[in-house]
Structure 1
């Protein structure tokens, strides 16, 4: 495999994007409880992210965005996750929606970004709706749950089954629809990632023109309708890229927990009925193991991101075994982040679960986020094992 010329994402300005995210961590921490309680990212967070340009990571540079590589996307997600899991998750999924829009024809991209490169979108990939072709366009109806970021979006990408005039199945697709043509139902009542506001979107007979319909079937094969074939970012492998957008915030949650526990230990807190926690070998060993698990998660996350970026730069389709390895890497991030947090909770003790403790919110967020189907470690392990053995029949078409 060869790599292509350096993309705009690697210049000095774009290299500062994770630093911009890191600079917002304390603001996100201060607002994390309110974000959780309000079930919506705090307005101050949205304004700060917007001012820092962190909603346009994946918007084409020719339309005013950063056109950042996938490595930068996961690094930004990881930094923001240190401060607030819900804010990081929402930001990352808004950015991956921007990447999806970059796969559409130029006409579609201009409709979204011509006036504002910071325009936000949300996406729901599963085909929970139907699209019936007609002379006027595709008539879209359905209900799409788990629409993370919908409370802050102006556009939505909605998965659907495309049918002909007589109901015959033609394709699976994504329809790009303005939010004002949809209804939001307040259905996101959950234990973790509460602030993502991942409610349900409803469409009833919305007409979508042909240039705002993207074939998921073709996308899974690496074929995208964008006319700008020289832009490597929009050649990235479809499913691994979508899955990677979820992994950065999960790693960030574990990193944030480590920082909080270390800060607590620095105050000289003791273990009940024993001596100072920081002097206890059990504390030292569990911290070391948690740190190593976080390091492992980081290495797997960056390897997967770099693999996606390098194959995109090469102009070649990412092979199936590499795509399943990327999913395995992402599953490893989820598993290691959970295991690291479990050790950190052991160190911090029962006080971790006090209602005013940020650790209990991190625990809820991580336990919820790591159960997403795209990052499920067991599914990823089976997929990768089958690919290594050359078994063509996979458990999911989303590879």
Structure 2
């Protein structure tokens, strides 16, 4: 698998399917066929439209498209994402709310590097902006990063996070979603040891695999079954010549997409068939629920091979964070060195990616933190997606997180303005596999 030919074969297959969809849509829409109003032609055109859109979205980085934010002055303020700290493998992006004074709450949202772009957290960002200034880690597609930029593994990821936190200062509140939770915890501990004044004010860990052995899931079972050699041979490919990162070893986005769609194949198959019928019946629209969700869900990015392999080997197999022996640049980090940062964990009762128990394990590692600065919350009916971007996040979890931030900043809990729902909504419920490793 570790050849450009394998990578280019997948891209060729994607291109071919997009072409087949476009061809079917065009042929089924010929004006002359209207003289023979057979439903098969309409169905052909509908299948082609959905197929073409599906395979085209796989190589498009979505825009943030955050709607204007209502302010205390009863005006809507335009939101503009700006790169504040550029880096080869990922930028620190700030969402500037035009014409609004700086907010007391400052939040860094650590988005996952696990197959999707940071824009999958669009609705999370949009829900926080009315009440805070927000920054996000915007990771780059590895296929667009030249080989000359070097490697990027879990240690580099951790150092990126420490640089971002140091830049934002001690009054920032960090929220880590899923995959980066253990590395964000390690980055905070590293700052506690080396630059205590640069630590964030609070740390919220949402659905992250701090201790993958605390609760078994299909993801953790896969990590135990497959050896690192098998993983490298079957999952790693070399970027083809048509991209700036030609020659870089990656875990391809298209391979990831095939993997985690197969985990919910029946749900996805039903959703696409229903959309084809909706297009054929004329009841679909460009921005309906299906398109909003899948335009985001299907947009995947390549992951640096060394990051993917080191995540599996050190976080899932080696349990280095879970056992408090994670090292960065030869230095073993002691998570117990965190003594001032308030830490909250959030889990979903129906989360089958990071099952309940995996994230709350972080609190046991914080041996130097007073119990008064520890908190945990379990949303019983929420799946993986719901705890950071779905209905459960909007209605229950977001208010609790903001209250947690205020309580540890010594501020009274203010009256908040409502936030508009933005971003994709999972079809058929919220328990959709969004971030499998």
> What's the TM-score once normalised by structure 1's chain length?
0.28
**Bigger relative CO (Cα 8 Å, ≥ 6 apart):** 2
Which protein shows a greater Rg? 2
**More helix per residue: 1 or 2?**
1
